[in-house]
Amino acid sequence: MINRLAIIGVGLIGGSLALALKGKGAVNEVVGYSRSEDARQQALDLGIIDKAADSLAEAVSGADLVFVAVPMGAMNSVFEGIADYLSPEAIITDGGSAKAQVVAAAKQCLGEKFKQFVPGHPIAGTEKSGPSAAFPTLYEKHRIVLTPVSETDSAATAKVKAMWQLTGADVFEMNVEHHDTVLAATSHLPHVLAFNLVGMLAERNDCDEVLRYAAGGFRDFSRIASSDAVMWRDICLGNQDAILSLLEQYHQGIKQIEEAIRNQDGDYLIDVFSRAKKARDSRF
C-alpha cells in the first residue's frame, strides 16, 4: 500500500498511473505537480489527484513514492528541485522514454538518494497528451521496463515492480543501454519516420488534395505523427547515438530500394518486402 504518491507531470503517463492505482485502492493519497497551473487544475477536476501542490518541494514532502513523468528535457530540473525535499525512505521512479540520459540526470542531482531511484519506462501510450488523455487501463497487459543500475537498491526495485504489477502490467528488467537500443528501433525511429513523412506532405501545395485520399494504411502509419513535438524532440536528443545509428542503416535501405525501383529490379523488391511481411506476420 502506498500512503502518499507524488506524481510530477500529471499528463498521460503520470495521470494514468495515478488512476490505475486509485482504481485498485492501492494508494491513500495522490499529490500532483505539473508546471502548468491549468494541468494541475484539470488533474484535480478529473479526480486524477487528490491534492495539487504549488511546488515540487510541496509535492514530494512526505511522499513514500514519487513518479516523475515530465518530458525528458525537464527531468534534470525536476530531480534538482526535489532532491532536498524527499523523505529519507522515499522511492523515486520515472517514466522517461530513453534511460541513459535520465539515469545520468538522477545520478547528478539526487546524491545519496540515487540508490532509491528506480529508472523505468512504460511501453504504453497514445498520441494524446495532458491530464485529459489519462485513463486507468493504459498499462493493462502492457510491458513496463525497469532499468536498475548497480547502485539501485534491490528493495526499491521490488517495490516499483509491485506497484506496476498492480496496474495489470508485465514488468521486465533490462540494462540501460539495451533498453535505449531496443526502443530506438521499435519506437523512436518509427516516430521520426512518421513525423518526416507527414511533415513532407504538409509542405506540398496540394497537401489537402493529397491527404483527402488517404486511406487506412496512411492513417496507421501516420497516427504517431500526432504525438507531442516537445516530448519527441527530447527523446531524439536524449537517445542521440542509438537513433543516429538506426537512421544511417535506414538511409542505406531506402537507397537500395530507390535503386531497385529505378532499375526495375522487381526481384529485389519482392525479396525485401516478403522478408518484412514474414517477419511481421510471425510476430503480430
Q: Which is nearer to ligand NAD, 70 or 276 (CB)?
A: 70
Rg (CA), the chain: 21
Beta bridge partners, 91, equal: 65
CB of 232 to ligand NAD, least distance (A): 8
Residues that bind ligand NAD (CB under 6 A): 8-14, 34-36, 39, 69-72, 74, 77-78, 95-97, 121-122, 125, 129-130, 133, 228, 231, 235
Strands 143-146 and 120-123 turn out to be antiparallel
CB of 258 to ligand NAD, least distance (A): 32
Contact indicator for 140, 168 with CB cutoff of 8 Å: yes
Q: What angle do CA 68, 109, 4 make, to 5 degrees?
A: 35
CB of 156 to ligand NAD, least distance (A): 20
CB of 46 to ligand NAD, least distance (A): 12
Which residues, 6+ apart, have CB-to-CB distance to 156 below 8 Å? 91, 115, 116, 117, 118
Contact indicator for 183, 239 with CB cutoff of 8 Å: yes
Q: Which is nearer to ligand NAD, 23 or 130 (CB)?
A: 130
